[in-house]
A = this chain, B = another copy of it.
Amino acid sequence: VFSDEAVLAAMLRFEAALARAQARLGMIPQSGADAVAAVTRVDPACLADEARRSATLVIPFLQRIPPEAREFAHRGATSQDVLDTALVLLLRHARQILTADHIRLVRELRALSERHAATVMLARTLLQPAMPTTFGYKVASWHGGVQRSWRRLSAAFHEAVQLQFGGAAGTLAAYGDRGPELAREVAKELQLPAPPPPWHSQRDRLAALVAQCGVYTGSLAKIARDITLLMQPEIHEISEPGGESSTMPHKRNPAGSVVTLAAASRLPGLVASFLSAMPQELERGAGGWQSEWPTVADTIQAAGSALASIADTIGGLTVHTIRMRANLEAAGEAGQGGPGAAETFRRQLLEDSE
């Protein structure tokens, strides 16, 4: 999603939308807009090196646009307008990918919970046997955490996917009194909602998005942690698909859960990085803003990897109900009694999050 090609393509989409909107409002000739829109690719070679020299990708990016288009491109915009909007377009795309995997995960969790509504097993607290519960309730709890976190993440995406368009000082001064009108047209071109005022140094929407990725991924990691524990041969209540070892043919590793845990463990640090860059200087930060791209890209990549892997894992999970029963019996006092309100709570968790 955040490959060099994708970034440059998204930047070109912004420039094309801006030029077309300007043409529609009579600010530049239609032929100028066409010239800009005709640029479909920018050569990424050496771009990174040149970008470092001016601390922005935008200058070498514009220099790679053919002169006849360059003349009508980027007029009145600032580098942050194109970069933030490109980021937002990539986030919109990322959201679609995450959504598909999330729906798959949730479907699997619901089915698994229903299937094991009555599968009694041992609840464990502080890794010690506590009392009976059901596997269906456990899965519904996973589902609850994931689904609530998704709702928050979804709202955060909704709020963050917005046009950035403010010009050099966030005032759109280059367009006289027609700035806000032009902004609306650009947003329409990009199928973005009516734009808010520029947010060059107000990063709360993105910060909330990154933070909710962190919470969501934490909820995924909770599932993975449980699987690695229940898959210990000494417990052996569930098994993952796959997971061969390079040395020991007899071994079966919790490969999917491990990928999820590994990816998820990167999130807290990424969230901290984004949050600590929030106090950006005046109308555009000197360092904080420029640090955001890799953090956002890593966040989405790690969250997506954690999600895809746990969805696969849940889809292929084997549940050893006989062993669950045996462990319960072996637990003595801790395994006695019934699962209380497990079924009530299980249903409530699945309903709440429909």
Contacts and interface: CB of A to CB of B under 8 A. Distances in A.
Interface of A: 52-56, 58-59, 62, 74, 77-79, 123-133, 137-138, 140-141, 144-145, 148-149, 152, 159, 167-177, 179-180, 196-205, 207-208, 211-212, 214-215, 218-219, 221-222, 224-226, 228-235, 242-248, 250-291, 294-295, 298, 302, 305, 309, 327, 331-334, 337-342, 344-345, 348-349, 352
A69 to B, nearest CB: 16
Contacts of A221: 278-279, 287
A246 B62 contact: yes
Given A133-B170, A272-B272, A278-B218, A242 B339 contact: no
Given A123-B171, A124-B281, A144-B202, 7 more contacts: A54-B244, A177-B341, A258-B290, A261-B290, A265-B276, A265-B277, A269-B295
Given A126-B254, A265-B276, A266-B295, A259 B55 contact: yes
A321 B171 CA distance: 19
Contacts of A175: 340
A276 B266 CA distance: 9
A253 B287 contact: no
Q: Which of A140, A149, A269, A288 has the most CB of B within 10 A?
A: A269
Contacts of A248: 130-131, 168, 333-334
Given A141-B202, A246-B74, A271-B275, A173 B283 contact: no
B202 A212 contact: no
Contact of A132 (B171, B180, B255): B171
A52 to B, nearest CB: 6
